[in-house]
Structure 1
Amino acid sequence: MSVTARESYHHGDLKTALIVASEAIIRAEGVEGFTLRKAAKSAGVSPGAPSHHFNGTRGLLTAVAIRIFKQLGAELDALPSSGMPAQDLRTQALGYVTFAARNPGLFRLICRVDLIDFKDADLIQASFEALTHYAHAAAAYFGHEPPNLHHRVFRPHMASAMATAHGLAHMVIEGRPALLFDTPDPISTFIETALPSILLATWPDPTSIDA
C-alpha cells in the first residue's frame, strides 16, 4: 500500500491513529524512545504527517497526554467510594500510584512540562477532570470546597495531598521499592503491603488519629 493510499485509508481517524501509535511507542520505550518518525511509521503515514497535523512533537505529545489523563480519570472514577473522607482519599491515592506503576512511560509523559503544552485548554480540562474524584476526596477530608477549574484557590493542604500521591508514584516508578523488598516484584509488594499503611499513617481515620 502506498503512503498516499495509507493516509487516505485513515481519513478522519489519521490524528487518532498517530495518537494511538505514539502511546504504544511510549508504553514500550518510554518518552525517551519516542520520535515523530517512529510514530508516523507505526501509524502507516508519511514522515511529515505528525508535524502537519499536530504542529510538531509538542503538539502530538500534548494530544497523547490528554488521552492518558482520560485513562487515569476513568480508573480513578471507577474506584469505590465509602463516603468516609479519609478512606476515600486513601483509595484515590492508591489508585493514582497504581496507575503510575502500571504505566510508567505514560505517567512520566504527563509530568513533563517541557514536552507538553500545559496551557492547552483541552489538556487543562482533561487533567482537571482526571483528578476530580481525588480532589473531592481531599477537599472533604480537609473540610474545603472542591476545586473549581475556573476559580483556582491555592490551599496548602490540598497541594500536600496531591504532592503525597505524586511523590509516592515517582518513588515507585523509579524503582525505590527494590531497596525495601527483596521479592521477585518489589513494586507489587510495596503497593500491596506497605503503601496502604503509609497512606493510613498520612490520612488516618478520625477515630485512629490519637491511637
Structure 2
Amino acid sequence: MSRTTRDNYHHGDLKMALIEAAEAIIQAEGVDGFTLRKAARSAGVSPGAPSHHFSGTKGLLTAVAIRTFEKLGGELNALPSSGIPAQDLRTQALGYVKFAAFNPGLFRLICRVDLIDFKDPAFMQASFAALTQYGHAAAAYFGQEPPDVNKRVFRPYMASAMAIAHGLAHMVTEGRPALFLDTPDPDSMFIETMLPSVLLATWPD
C-alpha cells in the first residue's frame, strides 16, 4: 500500500477512493466487468478492503448507485423550468435519456435491483431526490399531487411518465437507434433530432 493510500485511509477517504474506483470500472467495462478485486487494485488497497468497508459487493455497488443518483439529480434538478407542464415534463425526460446515454454503465447499475440494496435508506433518499423535478413536472402535467418521500404509494401518472423516459433511455443505451438510423453516431442523432418529436407526441402542449 502506498503512503498516499495509507494517508487517505487514516483521513477517512478510503471509502470514496473505492467508490470512485468502482465507478470508473463500471463506466469503462460495464457492471458485468466489475469485481471487488479490480476496485481494490485500482484504489491501491488490499483485496479485502472493499468487503471490510462496504460489507461486500452489494454494499459498494449501492454506494456507487447512490452517487449516480446524486449526479442524475444534479443534472435534472438544474434543468430550466418554463412553467408550462408539458414542456417541463419533456425537458426532464430528455435530460433523463441524455444522462443514460452519456453514462450507460452507471445507468444500467441503478436499474439492477439484484445488485444493489434498493431498501437502503440513503439509496431510497437519493433516488427520490434525483427525480424531484421530474415528479413535480409529471404531477403538474397530469393535475396530480407531486410524489411525497414520506408517502410511498403507487402513483399511476408517475409510473406512466417514468416508463416512457426509462424505456427511451434503455432504447438508447442498448443501441436501438442504429436499427433505423444509418449514421456514424445514431444514438446522438436520435437524441438530438428525433427524441424531441417523440416526447412532443407523447406529452403535447
In 1: Cα distance, 2:166 partner to 2:179 partner: 19
Matched pairs, number = 203
Q: Given residue 197 of structure 1, which amino acid in structure 2 is its aligned partner?
A: S
* Matching of residues 126-205 of structure 1 within 5 Å: 126-205=126-205
| RMSD after superposition | 0.9
Q: Which TM-score applies when normalising by structure 2?
A: 0.97
* Matching of residues 10-89 of structure 1 within 5 Å: 10=8, 11=10, 12-89=12-89
**Stretches of structure 2 lacking an aligned partner (at least 5 in a row):** none
How far is 1:152 from its partner?
2.2
How far is 1:4 from its partner?
7.0
Q: Given residue 94 of structure 1, which amino acid in structure 2 is its aligned partner?
A: L
**Stretches of structure 1 lacking an aligned partner (at least 5 in a row):** 206-211
How far is 1:77 from its partner?
1.2
- 1:116 is aligned to 116
Q: Which TM-score applies when normalising by structure 1?
A: 0.94
Q: Given residue 201 of structure 2, which amino acid in structure 1 is its aligned partner?
A: A
Could you report, residue by residue, the CA deviation over 1:99-130 in whole angstroms, capped at 9, with x for unpaired residues? 00000000000000000000000000000000
Q: Check whether the contact 1:50–1:60 (CA below 8 A) recurs between aligned residues.
A: yes
Q: Given residue 193 of structure 1, which amino acid in structure 2 is its aligned partner?
A: T
Identity %: 78
How far is 1:5 from its partner?
4.0
Tell me the secondary structure at the aligned position of residue 119 of structure 2: coil
Tell me the secondary structure at the aligned position of residue 183 of structure 1: coil
Q: Check whether the contact 2:50–2:60 (CA below 8 A) recurs between aligned residues.
A: yes
Q: Given residue 37 of structure 1, which amino acid in structure 2 is its aligned partner?
A: R
Could you report, residue by residue, the CA deviation over 1:79-108 in whole angstroms, capped at 9, with x for unpaired residues? 111000000000000000000000000000
Q: Given residue 131 of structure 2, which amino acid in structure 1 is its aligned partner?
A: L
How far is 1:158 from its partner?
1.5
